[in-house]
Amino acid sequence: MTSKVFSRPFTQQESISQEAIDAAIEVLKSGRLHRYNTIGDELSEASLLEQEYANFQGSRYCLACASGGYAMSVSLKAAGLKAGEKVLTNMYTLAPVPGSISNAGGEPIFIEINENLVLDLEDLSRKAISSKARFLLISHMRGHLVDMNKLMQIVEDNNLILIEDCAHTMGAKWQDKRSGNFGLAGCFSTQTYKHLNSGEGGLLTSNDAEFMARAIILSGSYMLYERHGAAPDKEVFADIRLQTPNYSGRMDNLRAAILRPQIKSLEKNIKRWNERYQLVEKKLREFKGIELPERSIEERYVGSSIQFRIPGITNADAKAFLEVNKKLGVELKWFGGDDPSGFTSNHKSWKYIEQQSLEASDKILSSLFDLRLPLTFTLEDCSLLSEIIGECAEPFLY
Ligand SMILES: *Cc1c(COP(=O)(O)O)cnc(C)c1O
C-alpha cells in the first residue's frame, strides 16, 4: 500500500480576480444592486453580462437569471410545456435537472446512458416514439457530449424541442459549434463548482425571439425588458408581455459584475482544465482494469472533472475503495450508492417521480467514480492523486 497522501481540498476554487473584486466594490458603492436600477440609458452590469455572454456563446439573445436550474425550468415554460407533459431527459444527471422539469409542471422520462456516459440514442429514439413527448432536455452530464449530429437527426425525425443543460459544457464544442447552440435554448450555471463562479447564477441563451421574450417576462422583468442587454426588439413583447406570468428569478448586478471579467479568462481556463484532465486520464489508463470513457475527436470538451469505471466492482468493494481513497485524501464520488449523500445523481433517489426501470445504466453507474479537478490543483497534484487512485484500486481490479 502506498505511503503517499493527498492534502489539497477538492472543493477549493481559485480566488476571484482583483478585476472582479474591484467591479463588485463599484456596484456596492453605487448601492444600485438591482438590475433595473439604472440611470438614463445606461446598461446595468446584468445587461452587459448578457451582451458579453451572448457574444462569447455566439447566440443572439441571453438572459441572466438566478440559477442553472431556474434557466431550465423557465426554458421549459417559455417553450410551452403544459402541466403533466412528458419531458425526455438523461437518467444520469444532477438533481436540478429532474427538479426543473417538475418545477415547470412536467414529468421526466429517463433515457439510458452508455459506457461513454452519454445518451443511448437507440433508447432515445424508442422512447421519443412511445411517449410522443415534445421535449428533450439533454444534460451534458460531466461534460460528455453525445454525437450531436446523430442526436439532431433524432430531434428532427421526432419533431422534438431541444433544450440543452450545459452546466458542464460551458465553453465546449461539438465540431465547430458551441454546446448550447444546437436546439431552442442553452442553459448554463454560474454556481461555484461550474466554469464561471458567482456563488449562484444562471445564463439562458437562444436565437428564438419569442421564446426569449417569454423567458424574460417569466424571469420577472417588471415591464422593463427594454433595459436588457441581449433581448429581442420591443415589438416582440407586444402580446407576450401581458400573457406571461412573473416567476421572479433575476440576476443582480453584484453577481454580474463578478462574472463579466471571468468570461475573458474562460478560454485560458479551459486549456488549464484540459491539461489536468489529460494528465489524470493518461495516468489512470496505465492501470489495467480501470476504464475511462472514450471521447470523440469531434468533441472539444472542458475537463473540469473526470470519471472512471471499475467494471464488475461490487457495492461493498466500491464502498471500501471510496474509504481507502478518502483516508489518503482523495475524495471520490460514486454513483451507485443507495442513499444519496452530498449530491444526488441517481434516478432511484428521486422518489417524487414514478420509478422507471433503467437496468443497463444502473449497472454502469454502480461501477462509476468521479472526481473534480479544480484549477487550484497543480499538475503535480494531479499526478499524485492518480497514483493514489491506481494503487487503491489494485485489490479490486480483475
Ligand atoms: C449544477 C448543475 C446544474 C444547475 O445547477 P444550479 O445549482 O441550479 O445552478 C444543472 N445540471 C447539472 C448537471 C449540474 O451539475
Which of 145, 194, 335, 350 has the most ligand 1 atoms within 8 A of CB, as the residue to mutate? 194
Total number of domains constituting the chain:
2
Residue 235 CB neighbours (<10 A): 8
Q: Is the pLDDT of residue 192 over 90?
A: yes
Q: Is the pLDDT of residue 346 over 70?
A: yes
Distance 304 CA to ligand 1 centre (A): 14
Ligand 1 pocket list (CB less than 6 A): 67-69, 93-94, 96-97, 139, 141, 165, 167-168, 189, 191, 202
Distance 167 CA to ligand 1 centre (A): 5
**Residues 118, 244: one domain?**
yes
- pLDDT score, position 2: 57
pTM for the predicted model, two decimal places: 0.97
**Residues 64, 93: one domain?**
yes
**Residues 248, 334: one domain?**
no
Q: What CATH code is carried by the domain that includes residue 107?
A: 3.40.640.10
Q: Is the pLDDT of residue 144 over 70?
A: yes
Q: Among residues 239, 260, 281, which one ends one of the domains?
A: 260
**Residues 275, 233: one domain?**
no
Q: For ligand 1, atom 9, name the residue with the nearest CA.
A: 68
**Residues 276, 164: one domain?**
no
Q: Among residues 241, 260, 279, which one ends one of the domains?
A: 260
Distance 126 CA to ligand 1 centre (A): 27
Site of grid cell 457574444: 55
**Residues 270, 255: one domain?**
no
Residue 237 CB neighbours (<10 A): 23
The answer to whether position 11 is within a domain reads no
Q: Is the pLDDT of residue 107 over 60?
A: yes
Q: Is the pLDDT of residue 362 over 60?
A: yes
DSSP string across 106-160:
-EEEEEPB-TTSSB-HHHHHHHHHHH--SEEEEE-GGGPPP-HHHHHHHHHHTTP
Distance 239 CA to ligand 1 centre (A): 32
Distance 207 CA to ligand 1 centre (A): 22
Residue 255 lies in domain: 18-260
Q: Is the pLDDT of residue 222 over 70?
A: yes
| Whole-number percent of the chain with pLDDT over 70 | 98
Spatial contact of 46 and 64, defined as CB atoms under 8 Å apart: yes
Range 203-220 average pLDDT:
98
**Residues 219, 366: one domain?**
no
The answer to whether position 179 is within a domain reads yes
Q: Which of 42-56, 233-247, 344-358 has the lowest mean pLDDT?
A: 344-358
Q: Which is nearest to 167 in space by CA: 235, 113, 90?
A: 90
**Residues 152, 290: one domain?**
no
Q: For ligand 1, atom 1, name the residue with the nearest CA.
A: 167
Q: What is the mean pLDDT of the chain?
A: 96
Distance 235 CA to ligand 1 centre (A): 33
CA distance 196 to 375: 12
Q: Which atom of ligand 1 is nearest to the CA of 190?
A: 9
Range 266-284 average pLDDT:
98
- pLDDT score, position 336: 85
The answer to whether position 125 is within a domain reads yes
- pLDDT score, position 160: 98
Identify the three-state secondary structure at position 285: helix
The three three-digit cell numbers of residue 338, written as one number: 443507495
Contacts for 309 with CB less than 8 Å, ≥ 6 apart: 115, 290, 291, 292, 364, 367, 368, 369
Range 316-329 average pLDDT:
96
Which of 67, 94, 138, 304 has the most ligand 1 atoms within 8 A of CB, as the residue to mutate? 94
Q: Which atom of ligand 1 is nearest to the CA of 69?
A: 8
| Extended beta strands in the chain, E state | 61-65, 86-90, 107-111, 135-139, 161-165, 173-174, 177-178, 185-189, 202-206, 299-300, 305-309, 333-334, 368-372
Q: Which atom of ligand 1 is nearest to the CA of 67?
A: 9
Distance 96 CA to ligand 1 centre (A): 6
Question: What is the distance in angstroms between the CA of the first residue and the CA of the last residue of the chain?
Answer: 18
Q: What CATH code is carried by the domain that includes residue 370?
A: 3.90.1150.10
**Residues 113, 208: one domain?**
yes
Q: Among residues 260, 293, 312, which one ends one of the domains?
A: 260
DSSP string across 60-94:
SEEEEES-HHHHHHHHHHHTT--TT-EEEEESSS-
The answer to whether position 9 is within a domain reads no
pLDDT band per the 50, 70, 90 thresholds, residue 1? low
The three three-digit cell numbers of residue 363, written as one number: 449497472
Range 38-66 average pLDDT:
97
Q: Which atom of ligand 1 is nearest to the CA of 140?
A: 13
The answer to whether position 12 is within a domain reads no
Contacts for 312 with CB less than 8 Å, ≥ 6 apart: 367, 398
The answer to whether position 5 is within a domain reads no
pLDDT band per the 50, 70, 90 thresholds, residue 248? very high
**Residues 282, 362: one domain?**
yes
Distance 68 CA to ligand 1 centre (A): 5
Distance 308 CA to ligand 1 centre (A): 21
Which of 118, 144, 165 has the most ligand 1 atoms within 8 A of CB, as the residue to mutate? 165
Q: Is the pLDDT of residue 305 over 80?
A: yes
- pLDDT score, position 339: 73
**Residues 318, 250: one domain?**
no
CA distance 306 to 321: 17
Q: Which is nearest to 229 in space by CA: 267, 261, 256, 269?
A: 256
The three three-digit cell numbers of residue 118, written as one number: 452519454
Q: Which atom of ligand 1 is nearest to the CA of 194?
A: 1
| Whole-number percent of the chain with pLDDT over 90 | 93
The answer to whether position 363 is within a domain reads yes
Spatial contact of 373 and 276, defined as CB atoms under 8 Å apart: yes
Distance 199 CA to ligand 1 centre (A): 12
pLDDT digits (tens, 9 = 90+) for 78-88: 999 999 999 99
**Residues 173, 33: one domain?**
yes
